[in-house]
Amino acid sequence: GRGIIIAIDGPAGAGKSTVARHLARHFGLLNLETGAMYRAFALRAIEGDFDFDDPVSLERLAGQTKITLVPTLTGNRVLLDGIDVTQRIRDSDVTQGASRVSVHPTIRAWMVDLQRALGQKGGIVMEGRDIGTVVFPDADLKFFLDASPEARSQRRYEQTPAAAENRGTISQELRERDERDRNRAQSPLRPAPDAVTIDSTDLSLEEVLRRIESIVKARL
Ligand code: C5P
């Protein structure tokens, strides 16, 4: 049979990437960051001057785009048509673009196929918005990591390279992204019925990890 599949979903800034990375390292699993794939595609759309609201053109673009995720100990590296775009996809224009291209059902279907192929052998921690609900509804363990909007924008602010953006912009962008991710018709962000929800507003990374690790350990 396949190895274990752990799904981690939740809104931006809830700490999913950090938690997924630590968890994968702790248990010797691969960490796959699906948000990076939407980001890479958004970058492709930006470079080609595509309209984020034109699903027909975007679908054609998708057919000509190759996105590769390379898991490493420090996070995923992302290749867009063979070019390493790991740093570039963290910029604000790409971040907003990712949340806009990801509303289109044909784009999501393409991504979900890629993600299922990447994860089919198991032995993975896959992180995103719809892993437990759509990509791997039969995942062995599902976590929904949440936190208050204030805590999430504070964390984003602390992670953002010095003076890159101001606090107001970050919290505004986070709110817009939340709004789109939760309200889109296709695969809106929500906890799977069988997910364990962890609100990390008042928890340290260590506390979140301890809770999740004890649940995973009981399952291995
Ligand atoms: O997780 P990250 O912030 O990198 O994701 C960027 C955007 O990609 C999210 O705001 C969301 O709109 C989209 N996304 C998605 N489904 C996923 C992962 C990310 O719709 N599984």
Q: Write out pLDDT tens, residues 152-204.
A: 999 888 877 665 668 888 888 999 999 999 999 999 999 999 999 999 999 99
Pocket of ligand 1 (CB under 6 A): 12, 34-36, 38-39, 98-99, 102, 128-130, 177, 181
Q: Is 123 exposed, middle or buried (0-12, 13-18, 19+ CB in 10 A)?
A: middle
pLDDT value of residue 99 = 96
ipTM above 0.90, yes or no: yes
CA of 178 from ligand 1 middle (Å) equals: 10
| Strands of 124-128's sheet in order across | 30-33, 124-128, 5-9, 141-146, 196-199
Mean predicted confidence (pLDDT) in 131-154:
96
Long-range contacts of 198-205 (CB under 8 A, 24+ apart): 198/143, 198/144, 198/145, 198/146, 199/146, 199/147, 200/14, 200/15, 200/145, 200/146, 200/147, 200/151, 201/146, 201/147, 201/148, 201/151, 205/15, 205/18, 205/19, 205/22
Mutate to test the pocket of ligand 1, among 44, 94, 99, 189 (most ligand atoms within 8 A of CB): 99
Residues near 136 by Cβ (< 8 Å), separated by ≥ 6? Answer: 5, 7, 116, 119, 126
CA of 84 from ligand 1 middle (Å) equals: 19
| Total-model pTM | 0.95
CA-to-CA distance for 37 and 60, rounded, in angstroms? Answer: 17
In contact, 9 and 145? CB cutoff 8 Å: yes
CA of 1 from ligand 1 middle (Å) equals: 29
Q: Write out pLDDT tens, residues 71-128.
A: 988 899 999 999 999 999 999 999 999 999 999 999 999 999 999 999 999 999 999 9
CA-to-CA distance for 164 and 44, rounded, in angstroms? Answer: 22
Q: Write out pLDDT tens, residues 23-50.
A: 999 999 999 999 999 999 999 999 999 9
Q: In ligand 1, which atom is closest to the CA atom of 130?
A: 21
Q: In ligand 1, which atom is closest to the CA atom of 135?
A: 21
**Residue having the nearest C-alpha atom to atom 12 of ligand 1:** 99
**Residue having the nearest C-alpha atom to atom 6 of ligand 1:** 35
